[in-house]
Amino acid sequence: MTYQNPNHAFDDAKAEAFAERFVGTLNEAALAVMTSLGHRAGLFDALAANPGHTSQGLSERADVNERYLREWLGVMVTSGVVDYDPLAAGYTLPPEHAAFLTRNASPDNMAVTTQFIGIAASVENALLERFRSGEGLCYHHFDRFHQVMAEDSAQLVVAHLVDAILPVVPGLIQRLEEGIDVADFGCGGGLAMMALARAYPDSRFHGFDLCEDAFAETAVKARREGLENLYFEARDLSCADEVGRFDLVTAFDAVHDQADPRGFLRLIRQSLRSGGVFLMQDIGGSRDLEKNIANPFAPLLYTISSMHCTPVSIGQGGPGLGAMWGVETAEEFLADAGFASVRMHRLPHDPINAYFTARI
């Protein structure tokens, strides 16, 4: 039965186009899930290093079962990701595709980001319950979220800290070389602080996060490397009155998830020494839905916001700002927290995020 709205003439061509679009949607969704699996199993790396190999040869080089690999390759070939030679039964990942799918492609590896689709699917049942109850979720509901966030952040943030992000603050690199105190509020996996601790041995770096398991692996690596200028602490910043004084405070994709974003920003302000600076990275969308329609990443960002950012904030008793709280809201919150000087930066390497610098 065709749905009919008495106030609207049914457009058969529009309906057919929409149905065709959703055939594509189903196929692209399937491709995203299989891309995530392929990334985690190292299959794109094996394909890039072994062009023209058969499924048997690839299975040996990737150390995976050939039967499962052959089915996965069927997805990749019929999706136009991998080329197939039926005479030689050989598979080839074109270099133009490898440039966005292999670990050597970082920081442009889109396969990393496809992992968020599986995470979203893993909490579908729990999220359905929250749609009805209005309750939130907790970090423990998300099996691999910290791991995937750390990997994604490593591409967009960590890899560009020194060459693109830190230079938005004039003179900051020189100060880091001379030696200052730095804190990352909501440090997650702690990769940003570890990268800076390596690059600037005369500065001291502190990572604070609610969940110790988020940075536990990085803390072990730091100890093994002998990074004595790097410290991590599990801390609930939503109820902290004092964490110390710092010359630079950073918050990478952390503010909108907080139980009390305004209080979080006030804590950051009072944690800055005279002449200090706050460097914040957050999603660069708008709080106005109509302004996000043309954003090619908007459906993905709203999905991540729906399945993680919003329910995690609500689960802490927070306002549920969501990832798309908007650069407008971010600037207002920074001003309300007492920052007299706030500047927003858009960086060429990162089409998703906005970067804010704020001073007292």
- What gap in Å lies between CA 162 and CA 199, rounded to an integer? 9
Write the DSSP symbol of residue 249. Answer: E
List of the chain residues with pLDDT < 50: 1
Q: How far is CA 258 from CA 52, 117, 271, 310, in A?
A: 49, 23, 17, 10
Could you tell me the end-to-end alpha-carbon distance of the chain, in angstroms, rounded to an integer? 63
SS3 call for 168: helix
| Token digits of residue 315 | 């689960």
Task: Give pLDDT tens digits for 129-170.
Answer: 999 999 999 888 888 888 898 898 888 899 999 999 999 999
Amino acid 3: pLDDT: 57
For the chain, domains (ranges, CATH) are 12-104 (1.10.10.10), 120-359 (3.40.50.150)
Considering the entire predicted model, what is its pTM? 0.89
State residue 1's pLDDT score: 46
Cβ neighbors of 133 (< 8 A, separation 6 or more) are: none
| Tokens 């500047």, located at residue | 343
Amino acid identity, residue 200?
A: Y
Assess contact for 73 and 50: CB atoms under 8 A. no
